[in-house]
Structure 1
């Protein structure tokens, strides 16, 4: 099979590219996805993320784990990643967050021309169909529905009031380049009457509406094994439907676009002979192109959660009464698009400074209306809530490599959490600030009992003990095929793989540094801009 463009991975970036590139009826686009079609009830119902997130069983989720982390008492971390058309945007909390102006201006200062805030803002706006309409910072005619939350819980509003009592300012828009403050997240959720309250994954925005285009071919259950080449030019992709099935090759006349994400894009490049020579040779892989930055520079938001029991039954709970109550919420959601079934769970937002001397927030809080303990893999009877804190710009750097040359093996993921002591220092300060908010007067009636002895933590040593024992990812890995001009850059500012023709990387792996917030909206922006770069090359 031959196409103009072959896209590997139908996640947030791959979905955007498939939708945008296939707008031209004169070109043929193939979108490969290792998972299923991504349009079932478990992706459309927002609260169904509780079924996919834990990875037990693996529903629309690769459910990876890290290597043992010395900074986390030798524990292996959990790394959920979407395995379906729509990728992680089909199983995430739907939070629409762009990050800070300085994040993107910093990319430009590192040599990534055209990626400063003012240059990328038009692509954020181009993608967006914001419920509040268009202005200087937002769009209202893009494919991606961005909504206000349908029915945030009273406990969430109390969290916001409590934060204000602690002198944190209120923010009604976290996406104008300065995200400091507390408030409610906006979410990638449909707000038109026909789909009101449904998840708007990247696939629901960009792919499902155009599946009838004759020039777009979407192939699911297609696990990419390796890229094909003629000399130093990428020519296609080899995939299999099953681990022991036959190899199938699709060819690309123009370009191969790898959009497999920050964990699997470097894995696929390495399996194809592109990476640091020493990393490849030890697995018996022939070196096609020695590119030392592949799989390096892994950055992620390490998340620590303060968990509490509550007597408030207007939260997500575990038990017979809670299950019956939630069944009613699903019924109301199907009728109106509202109710707790439409919740992103992480309803309350805060971007705060741990020191007034800082020029921008350095921690982010997610206030969650359930006991999401260990990624919802540890269940607790009754009702509860949690407040998650992460350092927005971690100093620790990790790697993604290979366990073996088997393309069906999981990648070797080593985020090196807390390998830089500055990350721990900031997390301790953030945990203290979070506890202060949860003990403010406005929140007192919701707080019943602290879990894991959190309220007993007084000293820095106490907090360090808690963090090393329970902290883990909040699902924002980036940077493993970073964009730039230095020796460790994998792609140039037009996202072309250095030293290889006809090959680009378009996903969160190209971020040279982690943005100050959630990564789905920035990944969609990257793909919107990439589509324009690809079209310009073809002209």
Structure 2
């Protein structure tokens, strides 16, 4: 039986895979494009569409729910890293947040790889191309208004979606010195910004909904075993599935399986660290020692705070908050992106330099770069909502700790081996402690919120945290309860594994287009960044092959 052939084979039907497949097909309808997704098509599953069952998707059959190794800096706990196991990937189970990193993040990326296309100005046209921004009066240079992804703010979408604590929470942050940022979603992310999201009319926008896959051959339930690399020029020529099916590529194979699966697939294909491949009996095709290194992930402290007089109707679960609009998106008003004083950063970086030497990440010292984000949710995650509690998430935006992804087996059905190495550096500890203390100060130490918030609710056996708690107490809490924030990146880093056109070094006709390629930490939630990255990648791929168009 003849092997089916396609112009492009895209491995991974998540966010970036859907965008690249859609854009290639739209620009050149004659192309035969195959999109392979290991998960299911959940488009008919009502739980993925609306808010009420949102949190139930975590740990469901639509979630890979990867387990890390025991993490030494967080009490040897094993963390779960959630990732969408369905067409659309993370956009099928995520919370719909839309935020760009700060321009300094992208400019650091461009400087690191020596290619200004990956700086903020280089990516800006692709940020704009991907979005349909709600505010037509916004800066037309900074925003797009005709793109596939509809972006809105909580307050703009529905007049009935007004959370009672919206203004007190904003005022509390202003009271402790944060500045109000009236231009969310631009290259300046510091301050109190309105939370932007992709929910529309209470329904999710998955990547395959925003970016049409009409005309694309899409196979779900397709676990890929490896990319076949053949010939003296080491050319990616076909993809072999775990069930034995094989598909040949006439032009390129594009890996878009995410920061945890893509390095695994590279190694299973014989591209990676020689010693790892030898250990598992995999023939070495290209020695690429950085495959699986440089794992970056956001890490956060979640806390519960008890409300005073909750019968006033201050949080979801209260019988006074019943309007359906209140549960038609993620229940947050503000994202607070904070810079950290040099007096805190410099001593921490110096300690890391004593440990890591020239490999120390000093990018946290770039002026103006926000390093920690706080969200205040009007409902607790993972427990019944009765209107008495709110939850905070204080997250490292630009973690300096680095982990690894490897393989535990030559089997494609075995999960990758993930050592996220959370909370490893002195800098991460100083930044997250600072951010958690600022969160406590805003909630418990301001006139704006003193009549609304009573106290932090600590885990059993631990003291409640206050603005006056010691660094040691904050550190103990983070080590005991800090969690993954499910934004892994960096494991096929640009400049180390792929070049600045996302081509795998040492292999012809093989690219990576997903969060794996990010060489540095990008602040904010990754969705907006990855849409822009995929848009630019599609443009690069089309231009590279333009001479072959009919």
TM-score if structure 1 supplies the norm length? 0.89
| Partner-residue secondary structure (3-state), 2:252 | strand
The answer as to 2:265 corresponding to 1:268 is yes
1:349 to 316, 332, 335: 335
Which digits, 9 at most, give the CA deviation of each residue in 1:164-218, with x for residues without a partner? Answer: 121211123332211111132111123xxxxx332122221003xx43x3xx111
1:478 to 471, 489, 495: 489
Aligned to 2:450: 444
| Partner-residue secondary structure (3-state), 2:31 | coil
* CA spacing shift, 1:177–1:460, aligned 2, 3 Å: same
Alignment partners' CA distance in 2, 1:356 and 1:282:
45
* CA spacing shift, 1:278–1:347, aligned 2, 3 Å: farther
Alignment partners' CA distance in 2, 1:276 and 1:380:
48
Aligned to 1:367: 376
Aligned to 1:36: 40
Aligned to 1:193: none
Alignment partners' CA distance in 2, 1:101 and 1:172:
16
> Is the CA contact 1:308–1:371 (under 8 Å) kept in the aligned structure 2?
no
Aligned to 2:504: 497
Which digits, 9 at most, give the CA deviation of each residue in 1:226-281, with x for residues without a partner? Answer: 112223111122224xxxxx321122111111000111110111111110011111
Aligned to 1:520: 527
Shift of 1:392: 1.8
* CA spacing shift, 1:139–1:359, aligned 2, 3 Å: same
Alignment partners' CA distance in 2, 1:5 and 1:265:
17
2:235 to 233, 236, 247: 233
Which digits, 9 at most, give the CA deviation of each residue in 1:48-88, with x for residues without a partner? Answer: 321112x0xx2311011110000001001110001111111
> Is the CA contact 1:306–1:454 (under 8 Å) kept in the aligned structure 2?
no
> Is the CA contact 2:314–2:387 (under 8 Å) kept in the aligned structure 1?
no
* CA spacing shift, 1:366–1:293, aligned 2, 3 Å: same
1:291 to 288, 292, 297: 288
Which digits, 9 at most, give the CA deviation of each residue in 1:299-345, with x for residues without a partner? Answer: 1111012211332645334xxx87xx89x65xx4xxxxxx1221213
The answer as to 2:472 corresponding to 1:466 is no
* CA spacing shift, 1:181–1:258, aligned 2, 3 Å: same
| Partner-residue secondary structure (3-state), 1:107 | helix
Aligned to 2:541: 534
Alignment partners' CA distance in 2, 1:449 and 1:421:
29
2:182 to 164, 168, 172: 172
Which digits, 9 at most, give the CA deviation of each residue in 1:142-169, with x for residues without a partner? Answer: 1111112242522243211211121211
* CA spacing shift, 1:179–1:221, aligned 2, 3 Å: same
> Is the CA contact 1:174–1:180 (under 8 Å) kept in the aligned structure 2?
no
Which sits farther off after the overlay, 161-170 or 356-365?
A: 356-365
Alignment partners' CA distance in 2, 1:45 and 1:379:
18
| Partner-residue secondary structure (3-state), 2:246 | strand
2:70 to 68, 71, 76: 68
> Is the CA contact 1:299–1:478 (under 8 Å) kept in the aligned structure 2?
yes
Which sits farther off after the overlay, 154-163 or 4-13?
A: 154-163
Let me know the Cα RMSD of the aligned residues: 1.9
> Is the CA contact 2:315–2:387 (under 8 Å) kept in the aligned structure 1?
no
Alignment partners' CA distance in 1, 2:127 and 2:211:
14
* CA spacing shift, 1:341–1:59, aligned 2, 3 Å: farther
* CA spacing shift, 1:20–1:379, aligned 2, 3 Å: same
TM-score if structure 2 supplies the norm length? 0.87
Alignment partners' CA distance in 1, 2:292 and 2:485:
20
Alignment partners' CA distance in 2, 1:279 and 1:383:
51
Alignment partners' CA distance in 2, 1:369 and 1:430:
19
> Is the CA contact 1:160–1:183 (under 8 Å) kept in the aligned structure 2?
no
* CA spacing shift, 1:256–1:43, aligned 2, 3 Å: same
| Partner-residue secondary structure (3-state), 1:423 | helix
Which sits farther off after the overlay, 428-437 or 491-500?
A: 428-437
Which sits farther off after the overlay, 497-506 or 382-391?
A: 382-391
Aligned to 1:82: 84
Aligned to 1:423: 428
Alignment partners' CA distance in 2, 1:49 and 1:285:
40
Which digits, 9 at most, give the CA deviation of each residue in 1:403-441, with x for residues without a partner? Answer: 211211111111111221111111111111110111222
> Is the CA contact 1:365–1:390 (under 8 Å) kept in the aligned structure 2?
yes
| Partner-residue secondary structure (3-state), 2:78 | strand
The answer as to 2:247 corresponding to 1:250 is yes
> Is the CA contact 2:379–2:385 (under 8 Å) kept in the aligned structure 1?
no
